[in-house]
Chains A and B, each alone.
Chain A
Amino acid sequence: MYKYDSYDQEMVDVRVEEFRDQTRRRLDGTLAEENFRPLRLQNGLYLQLHAYMLRVAVPYGTLSSAQMRMLGDIADKYDRGYGHFTTRQNIQYNWIKLEEAPDILADLATVEMHAIQTSGNCIRNISSDQYAGAAADELIDPRPYAELLRQWSSFHPEFLHLPRKFKIAVIASKTDRAAMRLHDIGIEIVKNDAGEIGCAFYVGGGMGRTPMIAPLINPFVPLDQLITYSEACLRVYNRYGRRDNKYKARIKILVHEMGKDEYTRQVEEEFAHLLTQGIEPPIAELERIIPHFADPAFDAATSDDLDLSDPDFKLWVDNNTVAHKAKGYVIATVSLKPVGGIPGDASADQIRLMADLARDYSFDELRVTHAQNIVFPHVKKADLYTVWQKLDAAGLSTANLDTIGDIIACPGLDYCSLANARSIPVAQKIAERFKAQDRLDTIGELKLKISGCINACGHHHAGHIGILGVDRKGVENYQLSLGGSEGADTSLGTITGPGFSEDGVVDAVEKATNLYLAQRQEGERFLDTYRRIGMAPFKEAIYG
């Protein structure tokens, strides 16, 4: 894991003091709310329906146990004893007092954490593959490049007031687990024919009300030009991105309206100019960062056997663990989607328990996934039963990863001032309807995602089944879409037809899954069957 040096620590400490000063000026009236707003947003502080919400950055989703423990302690000390893990691998607290926010940032700084640029029209937290450094299928660990970008994008003076928010993801695996092409910039670390490592740049993806899949604009940017190329992409966007209409201000609209080729031409022109400006950190800086992400000391002699005689344990292993690159280890995911729970929520005690388990059984490391779950990246098979028992005792052993019970949902109208409809009750009703374990297992992989408004924080466009809450004449109404995907085969869902009531959409989801079960061929997931047979039979089943 990356450890701060004195410079990194100084940067977060100064930020705490800056925000403390800004808060003081806000509270004494020197600073108007209009001008305080963008400043607090750049520190992750939103004004929600009931209170302030603070979003804390988890760079590329990686946490140490000490950091995780602090997140639990903050939930107790400043919130109501729980936190909410988000689709951008961050955590947010929903009941924050403005006057305490500087103290929270100060507490976070003691464990090398912050809330820098987790909101606002600036470059947001860099996200990545939650299995980085552990997955059997990755080219290299993408996180050193994400860390290089984190430092470059933190307080970048030219890009703090962009037309709109800007999200970057970095991956290094063909199996895209980070929805890379649905980001403003998606970077895939690749190897060229000469065997050199570089970056493929995808620019102009996004969800929101106009979902777009990012086109490839440069298949190979050398590693020692990564920052310069990123800067060129941002500068062209800052120059031309629309500022007249916030719904058309994301870079996806610019790339779409200007055309991929013209955008690319301008980026290349700016890039050629910026290469003369000496803004790129030397390769020595990357070489300094890379060892921070070295493999932990895996035990080569550990047994590769796993005793699966306990059927409940076997179920969890089958559903919630995946292959690790080291023999005798697995990657284990803790589902934060218990039936009846709020997707992504964890109590302070649960957060601290996961911190302890990571310390004792996963080389002190955890990951947050964009599906709002927690990963222990490096667990010995020999320890796995113990880990599972402890999770089970804390209500954290739900065996539903990537099933219809593992729902992504935004906070919706229960918390969010932007929402048109509630998301959480719909997620809860669907989880309840499909709670029988044999039913989950029969249906298999099915990614269901719910957003409470068109901003699409719940990623509904990318759900195998997507649900969008809208307001229709003062009544909550839910649109259903099918066929979205966020993986290497990224696609956007198609709306089935007229919307439904809250209970109606749960019935419609059940009809869709019933049709899938009736129509599927050997080995097909829901998404595969949908892609083979198309929308018509699903429409028939849902509305007929």
Chain B
Amino acid sequence: MVETQYRFRDDEPVTDPAVTVDSFGDQTNAASVRIEPGDDARELLPFLDRLRLVEVNFPSFGDGRGYSSARLLREAGYEGELRAVGAVFVDQLSHLRRCGFDSFAPNAPLDPQDAENAFNRWPDVYQATGDGRPAIWSKRHG
């Protein structure tokens, strides 16, 4: 079990083991799910009301499918924990945050100072991604 190194939530962490996307629909008592690369996050949309933890597995630094999965869930109104697990490195942190991830369980622990810098890297952002940060264009035009 990989440790969650960063968590930006105040609620109690969910301790249930995550089930696969395939089986989540049938396991009506499950509250946590793990999205593997290639899974379609849209299959979870009918079950958002009982979903409390979504883990998204990043198999490698360069596999960016998880970013889209995260945004899709947030856009659909999912408010539970969204955890990036696997090949999670310092230089992805701010982008993962922007896509809606609010907890991080990297395979190898991140250097605290480097991670701190990375989370706070960008004072402004060019895009609206649903993370609540105003895009630069919105600041320009009030």
B121 and A14 form a contact (CB under 8 A): yes
A382-401, CB < 8 A from B: none
B68 an interface residue at 8 Å Cβ cutoff?
yes
A239 an interface residue at 8 Å Cβ cutoff?
yes
B84 an interface residue at 8 Å Cβ cutoff?
no
Separation in Å of the B132 CB from the closest CB of chain A?
12
A35 an interface residue at 8 Å Cβ cutoff?
yes
Give A279's nearest chain B residue, CB to CB: B128
Docked complex Cα distance between A161 and B65 (Å): 8
Separation in Å of the A281 CB from the closest CB of chain B?
4
Give A5's nearest chain B residue, CB to CB: B140
Contact of A158 among B63, B99, B124 (CB under 8 A): B99
B83 an interface residue at 8 Å Cβ cutoff?
no
A121 and B62 form a contact (CB under 8 A): yes
A129-156, CB < 8 A from B: 151-152, 154-156
B94 an interface residue at 8 Å Cβ cutoff?
yes
Docked complex Cα distance between A156 and B75 (Å): 16
A151 and B91 form a contact (CB under 8 A): no
Contact of B61 among A5, A22, A38, A239 (CB under 8 A): A38
Contact of A157 among B90, B94, B117, B124 (CB under 8 A): B94
For A274, list chain B residues within 8 Å (CB).
Answer: 75
Contact of B68 among A30, A152, A235, A243 (CB under 8 A): A235
A281 and B64 form a contact (CB under 8 A): no
Chain B binder among A282-290, A319-327, A464-472, A489-497? A282-290
Contact of B140 among A10, A30, A288 (CB under 8 A): A288
A218 an interface residue at 8 Å Cβ cutoff?
no
A18 an interface residue at 8 Å Cβ cutoff?
yes
Docked complex Cα distance between A35 and B37 (Å): 19
A442 an interface residue at 8 Å Cβ cutoff?
no
Separation in Å of the B70 CB from the closest CB of chain A?
8
B128 and A278 form a contact (CB under 8 A): yes
Docked complex Cα distance between A278 and B138 (Å): 11
A11 an interface residue at 8 Å Cβ cutoff?
yes
Docked complex Cα distance between A59 and B124 (Å): 21
CB-based A-B contact count at 8 angstroms:
101
B124 and A7 form a contact (CB under 8 A): yes
B129 an interface residue at 8 Å Cβ cutoff?
yes
A151 and B64 form a contact (CB under 8 A): no
A100 an interface residue at 8 Å Cβ cutoff?
no
Give B130's nearest chain A residue, CB to CB: A277
For A21, list chain B residues within 8 Å (CB).
Answer: 114, 117
Separation in Å of the A110 CB from the closest CB of chain B?
19
Docked complex Cα distance between A162 and B40 (Å): 16
Count A interface residues, CB 8 Å.
40
A284 and B127 form a contact (CB under 8 A): no
B128 and A157 form a contact (CB under 8 A): no
A10 and B67 form a contact (CB under 8 A): no
| Contact A238/B67 with A22-B91, A157-B127 known, Cβ cut-off 8 Å | yes
B89-116, CB < 8 A from A: 89-91, 94-96, 98-99, 111, 114
A39 an interface residue at 8 Å Cβ cutoff?
yes
B89 and A35 form a contact (CB under 8 A): yes
A151 and B67 form a contact (CB under 8 A): no
| Contact A238/B68 with A35-B89, A157-B99, A285-B141 known, Cβ cut-off 8 Å | yes
Contact of B127 among A14, A121, A273, A279 (CB under 8 A): A279
A2 an interface residue at 8 Å Cβ cutoff?
no
**A19-40 near B? 1/0 per residue, CB < 8 Å:** 0011001000010001100110
A285 and B137 form a contact (CB under 8 A): yes
| Contact A14/B123 with A35-B91, A157-B95, A277-B130 known, Cβ cut-off 8 Å | yes
A159 an interface residue at 8 Å Cβ cutoff?
yes
A10 and B123 form a contact (CB under 8 A): yes
Separation in Å of the A492 CB from the closest CB of chain B?
30
B65 and A151 form a contact (CB under 8 A): no
For B64, list chain A residues within 8 Å (CB).
Answer: 121, 158-162, 238
A284 and B75 form a contact (CB under 8 A): no
| Contact A273/B75 with A39-B91, A152-B127 known, Cβ cut-off 8 Å | yes
| Contact A157/B137 with A11-B124, A14-B122, A35-B89 known, Cβ cut-off 8 Å | no
B68 and A282 form a contact (CB under 8 A): no
A30 and B111 form a contact (CB under 8 A): yes
**B56-91 near A? 1/0 per residue, CB < 8 Å:** 000001111101100100010000000000000111
Could you list some 17 contacts between A and B, CB below 8 A? A7-B140, A11-B124, A35-B91, A151-B126, A152-B127, A155-B95, A155-B126, A157-B99, A158-B67, A158-B71, A158-B95, A158-B99, A160-B67, A161-B62, A243-B65, A274-B75, A288-B141
Give the top 9 A-B pairs by smallest Cβ distance, nearest first.
Answer: A161-B64, A157-B95, A157-B98, A281-B137, A285-B137, A158-B67, A7-B136, A279-B128, A284-B141
